[in-house]
């Protein structure tokens, strides 16, 4: 199925709803980060939404939207401005590049694709933070595992939303 055909299968409201869902993920990630401040890991929810929606409904998540949301996340989290932006753009590009092979794959392959791509992005972010001599989350593998677990849970909800807004 061509990408244009896949995008015509959804009601136009989905193109409005997905950015709102992604914005809620940014805010929820910040709130959870503040509530769980004493824990050793941070749950990063924005890549979950960006990867899923870029994979299954690419018109609902343009790269500019992903960049703006990541810059908002940079402002909320206090990381160097553009660090999350670059990471999210790379993850968005990876999702689009792997779309043809992952869109019809079993869910286990989608999870594997997300987890490998997220590991690459998170390790690059950790390396940049270390090179800039900024505080680095040494429990990045735990953060990665919890984010992959969040992907599994949120994907079920995203899948239900996606099927609800398919054209009849």
Burial of 47 (0-12, 13-18, 19+ CB in 10 A): buried
Dihedral (Cα; 93, 99, 103, 108), 10-degree rounding: -60
pLDDT the model gives residue 102: 93
pLDDT in tens, 28-51: 888 887 887 766 567 789 999 999
Domain ranges of the chain: 3-164
Q: pTM for the full model?
A: 0.88
Q: Give which of 144, 168, 151 is closest to 56, Cα–Cα.
A: 151
Distance CA 151, CA 63 (A): 20
Instruction: Give the per-residue pLDDT at 129.
Output: 85
Asked if residues 147 and 48 have their Cβ atoms less than 8 Å apart, the reply is: yes
One pLDDT digit (tens) per residue for the chain, 168 residues: 444 545 566 778 888 889 999 999 999 888 887 887 766 567 789 999 999 999 998 888 899 999 999 999 889 888 888 899 999 999 999 999 999 999 889 999 999 999 999 999 999 998 888 888 877 777 788 889 999 999 999 999 999 998 888 775
62 Cβ neighbours under 8 A, 6+ residues apart:
none
């Amino acid at each position: 199925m061509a990408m244009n055909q896949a995008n015509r299968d959804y009601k136009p409201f989905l193109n409005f709803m997905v950015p709102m869902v992604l914005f809620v993920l940014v805010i929820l990630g910040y709130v959870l980060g503040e509530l769980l401040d004493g824990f050793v890991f941070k749950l990063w929810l924005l890549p979950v939404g960006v990867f899923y929606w870029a994979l299954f409904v690419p018109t609902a998540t343009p790269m500019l939207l992903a960049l703006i949301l990541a810059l908002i996340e940079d402002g909320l989290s206090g990381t160097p401005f553009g660090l999350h932006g670059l990471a999210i753009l790379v993850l968005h590009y990876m999702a689009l590049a792997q779309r043809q092979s992952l869109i019809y794959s079993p869910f286990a392959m989608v999870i594997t694709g997300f987890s490998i791509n997220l590991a690459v992005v998170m390790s690059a972010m950790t390396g940049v933070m270390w090179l800039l001599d900024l505080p680095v989350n040494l429990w990045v593998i735990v953060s990665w595992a919890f984010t992959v677990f969040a992907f599994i849970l949120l994907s079920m909800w995203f899948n239900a939303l996606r099927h609800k807004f398919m054209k009849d």
